[in-house]
Amino acid sequence: MQHIKVTVDGTTYHKEVEPRTLLVHFLREDLGRVGTVVGCDTSNCGACTVLVDAVSVKSCSMLAVQADGSEITTIQGVSDGNDWHPVQSAFKECHGLQCGYCTPGMVMSSIDLLNENPNPTEAEIREGLEGNLCRCTGYHNIVKSVQRAAELMEGAKS
Amino acid sequence: MIPVAFDYKKASSVQDALAALAAGGEDAKLMGGGQSLLPVLRLRLNAPSVVVDCSSIPEIKGIKDEGGKIVIGAGTTHHAVMNDPAVKSSLKVLADATASVADPQIRHRGTLGGALAHSDPRADQPPVALALDAEFTIAGATGQRTVAAADFFQGPFETAVGPDEILVSVAFPKLDGWGGHYEKFNRAAQAWSIVGVAATVRMEGGKIAEARIGLTNVGGTPHRASAVEQALVGASSIAEIEAASMHASDGLSPFADEDADVEYRLHLARVLTARSVAKAAGIS
Ligand SMILES: Cc1cc2nc3c(=O)[nH]c(=O)nc-3n(C[C@H](O)[C@H](O)[C@H](O)COP(=O)(O)OP(=O)(O)OC[C@H]3O[C@@H](n4cnc5c(N)ncnc54)[C@H](O)[C@@H]3O)c2cc1C
Ligand code: FES
Ligand code: FES
């Protein structure tokens, strides 16, 4: 077992983990934060996406021991407790989900995308979300959601 | 799946990593970004006894502009490489190829050194390193040595880096003023190349004066299309580029797989070479 210290959604945890524990399993099983889901065994689907030190990573493709000392944001930490994050609001408004399984990862990747590029074109959105698969929506409303989120975030700034 | 149990050692320096590899013996495995290794461990296709994490060694991270060349630390992420101003202006073909690797999440963690040391025949950066005559610095128990790209790639998943060694950095000669493009052919977003072509050209008076061409996934190792490079000299039209690119399949014996049979791969090698060169040269 190895000792790690991580801050997840604003709370700092000290835990003993087995080196082989994937970050996603640590979040779900050790911390009970089950908002982040596993969708594949091949690092393809992106359902498990979280932010580690403010950039998107697939939490199934990182070890919990590698996250030692870092700050993690999951889908459960993006809202301030009262209001949704603009990306969440936009996904609701634009019907950017159906079954919702891909949504935690889609929202986290969209936040990363908009951090890096606050005003993306449709092509940039499609490219930026290429690491996230959705079996339901055909992506159309997801793209619209990200465009709407960009407007909401731009509006919030002015 | 959950990987088979292993010990984990986070290396703080190259010396530290070499010592951990030596202590771990045959079953020790180095990890960079883990974006190729962890999927393999999750599928239990490999079961190292100890994983030596070199992703936070400061001396193998970062990009240095050293006058005539750009030296990229092996532990530099794809995201850092493709967004670096010096790489974008002096090594456009490397920036392009790197931007085509996987997806943003994987590019945030995966490293240039990891991709080159892994040397998957489908990987997009090895043909760039080959075409640009990059130089690889490798550290081992007896010190550091330098290996030319032509000697680095030895077979599918086989390179000049020994099991007890570390790739430290890769030096690329600067190609200021050259045009560059990476043409990747695949079926879906985020998919690996069925065939890819890295092209970089120097123009003089509207004509190609010099060209470097590397091909992805047309054999077990990246392929340098030297015959095309020679035939391209003097080309100034699409027709001339297409004629020179017919040599892209010279001497190739590609494999067949679910994506493409041998004939189709040879066809792709020629067609994509012409497209890639035309874009690099700005000729349409
Ligand atoms: C879904 C998916 C899609 C992908 N698509 C593409 C794609 O389209 N194109 C592409 O090119 N790649 C693709 N990749 C691979 C990706 O680019 C990896 O980031 C890269 O191949 C490995 O880099 P890494 O740092 O993560 O290496 P790791 O996974 O950490 O290591 C890979 C290998 O290199 C060795 N290694 C790592 N660092 C060093 C070092 N410094 N010295 C010596 N040996 C070292 C390790 O021991 C291991 O054998 C994809 C991966 C995934 C999961
Ligand atoms: S669970 Fe599919 S990419 Fe992580
Ligand atoms: S909404 Fe069902 S997978 Fe995306």
CA–CA separation, B135 and B170 (whole Å): 6
Is the CB of residue A157 less than 8 Å away from at least one CB of chain B? Answer: no
pLDDT mean over B21-29: 94
**Average pLDDT score, chain A:** 97
CATH number at residue B162: 3.30.465.10
The number of C-beta contacts closer than 8 angstroms across A and B is: 84
- Among A55-59, A95-99, B43-47, B171-175, name the one with the lowest average pLDDT: B43-47
B61 pLDDT higher than 90: yes
**Tens digits of residue pLDDT in A129-153:** 999 999 999 999 999 999 999 999 9
Considering the domain architecture, whether residues B20 and B107 belong to the same structural domain is answered as no
Question: Structure tokens of A4?
Answer: 């790690």
pTM given for the model:
0.97
Amino acid, single-letter form, for residue B82:
M
Largest CA distance in chain B: 61
Q: Do both A72 and A97 map to the same domain? A: no
Q: Supply A36's token pair.
A: 């982040």
CATH number, domain containing residue B197: 3.30.390.50
Backbone phi and psi for residue A6, each to the nearest 5 degrees, phi listed first: -135, 150
Report whether pLDDT(A81) > 90.
no
ipTM for the complex?
0.97
Which structural domain, as residue segments, surrounds residue B231?
Answer: 179-281
Q: Of A23, A49, A77, at which residue does a domain stop?
A: A77
| Block residue for tokens 């997801």 | A142
Does the beta carbon of A104 sit less than 6 angstroms from any atom of ligand 2? no
Is the same domain home to A49 and A95? Answer: no
The CATH number that applies at residue A67 is 3.10.20.30
What b/e readout covers A60-79, taking b as 16+ CB neighbours within 10 angstroms?
Answer: bbbbbbbbbebbbbbbbbbe
3-state SS, residue B218: coil
Predicted local confidence at residue A155, as pLDDT: 84
| B37 and B63 both lie in a single domain | no
Q: Whose CA is nearest to atom 4 of ligand 3?
A: A134
The residue out of A36, A51, A77 marking a domain boundary is A77
Over range B79-93, report the average pLDDT: 97
Q: Return the pLDDT at B139.
A: 98
Place of tokens 């996250």: A67
Give residue for tokens 């850092």. B80
The alpha-helical segments, DSSP class H, found in chain B are 14-24, 37-42, 78-83, 85-90, 92-99, 104-109, 112-118, 126-131, 149-152, 226-232, 238-245, 262-281
Residue A157 has pLDDT above 80, yes or no: no
Q: Are residues A66 and A128 part of one domain?
A: no
Q: Is A133 in the pocket of ligand 3 (CB under 6 A)?
A: no
> How high is the mean pLDDT of chain B?
97
- For residues A94 and A53, membership in a common domain is answered with no
**B13: three-class secondary structure by DSSP:** coil
Strands (E), chain A: 2-8, 11-17, 49-52, 55-58, 71-73
Using the atom order of ligand 1, give the atom closest to the CA of residue B166: 42
High-pLDDT (> 70) share of chain B, %? 100
Domain contains B103: yes
**Token pair listed for B245:** 């690119």
Number of folded domains that form chain B = 3
pLDDT digits (tens, 9 = 90+) for B87-99: 999 999 999 999 9
Q: Which of A67, A76, A49, A47 is nearest to A5 (CA)?
A: A67
User: Looking at the structure, do residues B149 and B224 belong to the same domain, yes or no?
Assistant: no
**Shared domain check, B207 and B189:** yes
Helices A140-157 + A103-116 axis angle, to 10: 50
Considering the domain architecture, whether residues B162 and B257 belong to the same structural domain is answered as: no
What are the tens digits of pLDDT across the range B145-181?
A: 999 999 999 999 999 999 999 999 999 999 999 999 9
* Nearest of B247, B252, B248, B272 to residue B194 by alpha carbon: B272
Q: Which of B103, B107, B120, B186 to mutate to test the interface with A (most CBs of A within 10 A)?
A: B103
Beta carbons within 8 Å of B56's beta carbon, 6+ residues apart: B10, B11, B12, B75
Residues 6+ apart with CB under 8 A from B240: B232, B234
CB contact under 8 Å between B2 and A109, yes or no, is: no
Torsion sign (Cα): B89, B99, B39, B269: negative
3-state SS assignment for residue B167:
strand
- Grade residue B243 by pLDDT with cuts at 50, 70 and 90: very high
Task: Kindly state the average pLDDT of the residues B77-88.
Answer: 98
- Domain CATH code at residue A145: 1.10.150.120
Decide: residue B67, CB within 10 A, 0-12 exposed, 13-18 middle, 19+ buried. exposed
* Residue B167 and residue B72 share a domain: yes
> Do A101 and A47 lie in a common domain?
no
Ligand 2 pocket mutation, candidates A43, A57, A132, criterion most atoms within 8 A of CB: A43
Structural domain including A23 reads 2-77
**Considering its fold, how many domains does chain A have in total?**
2
Query: Is B189 at the interface with chain A, CB within 8 A?
Result: yes
Give the domain-ending residue among B173, B198, B221.
Answer: B173
Instruction: Return the residue matching tokens 């996406």.
Output: A49
| Residues B134 and B194 occupy one common structural domain | no
User: Which pLDDT tens digit goes with each residue over B180-222?
Assistant: 999 999 988 888 999 999 999 999 999 999 999 999 999 999 9
Query: Are residues A108 and A71 part of one domain?
Result: no
Q: Measured between alpha carbons, how far is B263 from B39 in angstroms, rounded to an integer?
A: 31
Same domain, B196 and B257: yes
Regarding whether B141 and B66 lie in a shared domain, the answer is yes
A57 C-beta closer than 6 A to ligand 2: no
- DSSP type of residue A21: -
- pLDDT value for A158: 67
Task: Answer with the one of B127, B152, B173 that is the final residue of a domain.
Answer: B173
Distance CA B112, CA A74 (A): 27
Domain boundary among B150, B173, B196: B173
Q: Quick check: B225 and B247 in contact, CB under 8 A?
A: yes
Measured in whole angstroms, how far is the alpha carbon of residue B254 from the centre of its chain?
19
